[in-house]
Each structure stands twice: as C-alpha cells, then as structure tokens.
C-alpha cells in the first residue's frame, strides 16, 4: 500500500517564490515532530512485519523486499534512545534515499509537507537530550509546533548503512541456499 501525502497550505508557504526554500516531510516519533528533506523521500508505506536478521543492531527491525530491492527498516524511536516501537497498523515506514541506498524509517505517523525558506531553519541550541546533535540539521517553527529537521546523512552514516547492507546480503544468500 502506497500512501500519498498531500501538502497543506500554511503560513510558511507564503512569499517563497523569490527565496531559496526547502520542503520537509514531517512526522511524529513519540510526542515530538521531526522533518526530513522531501528530496530524499521515495515512498511512504504502511507497516508490515519485516524479516528479522541475526546480529543486526537493536534499532534495525529487519528487512523488507520492495519490488525486488532489499531495504533495511530502522526504528527511529530506538535510534533516538526513546525506547522501542511496538509497531501496529498506525505506524508507517518512510522509504528514504541515503548515500545511493534505500532505507526504511519506522515512525509513528506522517504529519505534513512543510515548505520553509532557508532563514526559517534555526540552529539547534546545545542541550542535554537523547538525540545526537549531529543528527539535527536545525529547528523550524511551524504554527504552534517546533519541528526538528534531521540530517539523514549523519543519522544513517556509512558504517550503519554498510552493516545493514552486509546483513541483507547474508540474508539473501541464506534464502538462495535454502531454495
């Protein structure tokens, strides 16, 4: 099932024609609102149980086969050290292109598409939080809420992606040898 997200007009969409602007897909993990650059989003799909892989990092739920491509699914709640998601039919997986690979990010719900000018993205203050500061691109004030814009390149760094790719290859080889 492929879900389409419809952009909603809001105050941040006004007068952006003459400015550099960015679009973010916003979503919830717990009570917090996060955003990922819309340019990296490939698809949004409902939750389905992935194939679990042995020796995978605890924040990796497993892998899915999406039209012939094996995609690792990462639990953002666990990645942010906020506990583990117990997925249900309300959870969604955002398929994201990171460093020429596709990964899935398990989130609680997709919220909106947000268009902002570059100057509306503020630097995150230095605070004590569970989220690694390198994961944060900036903060965006939108209506009554604050959206944390994530840096996908650091959230899913080369080491994490390589480890997931290796586990997926092992799983594929194991499946082929079982046939």
pLDDT category, 174, cuts 50, 70, 90? Answer: low
pLDDT tens for residues 39-50? Answer: 999 999 999 999
pLDDT category, 5, cuts 50, 70, 90? Answer: very low
Calculate the dihedral angle through the C-alpha atoms of 76, 95, 26, 156, rounding to the nearest 10 degrees: 50
Helical residues (DSSP H) of the chain, grouped into ranges? 76-79, 152-155, 158-178
Distance between CA atoms of 34 and 147, rounded to whole angstroms? 5
Residue-level pLDDT at 55: 81
The share of the chain scoring above pLDDT 70, in percent, equals: 76
* Class of CATH domain 11-178: mainly beta
> DSSP 3-state helix, strand, coil percentages of the chain (rounded to 5)?
25, 40, 35
Would you say the C-alpha torsion 28, 88, 131, 63 has a positive or negative sign? Answer: negative
pLDDT tens for residues 76-131? Answer: 998 888 889 898 889 999 999 988 889 999 999 999 999 998 888 888 776 655 55
Q: Where are the domains of the chain?
A: 11-178
Does 24 have pLDDT greater than 80?
yes
Residue-level pLDDT at 157: 74
Residue-level pLDDT at 162: 72
Residue-level pLDDT at 177: 56
93 or 15: which leads in pLDDT: 93
pLDDT category, 8, cuts 50, 70, 90? Answer: very low
Q: What is the mean pLDDT of residues 154-161?
A: 75
- End-to-end Cα, the chain, rounded Å: 28
167 or 87: which leads in pLDDT: 87
Does 67 have pLDDT greater than 60?
yes
pLDDT tens for residues 128-137? Answer: 555 567 788 8
The whole-angstrom distance between residue 122's C-alpha and the CA centroid of its chain comes to 20
Residue-level pLDDT at 152: 87
């Amino acid at each position: 099932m492929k879900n389409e997200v419809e952009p909603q007009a809001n105050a941040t969409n006004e007068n952006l024609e003459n400015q550099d602007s960015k679009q973010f897909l916003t979503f919830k993990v717990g009570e917090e609102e996060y955003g990922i650059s819309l340019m990296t989003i490939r698809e949004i799909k409902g939750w389905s149980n992935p194939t679990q892989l042995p020796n995978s990092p605890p924040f990796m739920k497993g892998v899915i086969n999406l039209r012939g491509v094996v995609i690792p699914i990462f639990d953002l709640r666990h990645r942010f050290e906020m506990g583990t998601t117990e997925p249900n039919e309300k959870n969604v997986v955002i398929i994201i292109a990171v460093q020429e690979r596709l990964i899935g990010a398990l989130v609680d719900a997709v919220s909106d598409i947000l268009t902002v000018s570059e100057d509306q993205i503020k630097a995150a203050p230095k605070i004590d939080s569970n989220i690694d500061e390198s994961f944060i691109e900036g903060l965006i004030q939108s209506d009554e809420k604050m959206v944390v814009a994530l840096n996908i390149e650091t959230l899913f760094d080369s080491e994490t992606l390589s480890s997931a790719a290796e586990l997926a290859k092992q799983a594929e080889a194991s499946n082929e040898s079982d046939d």
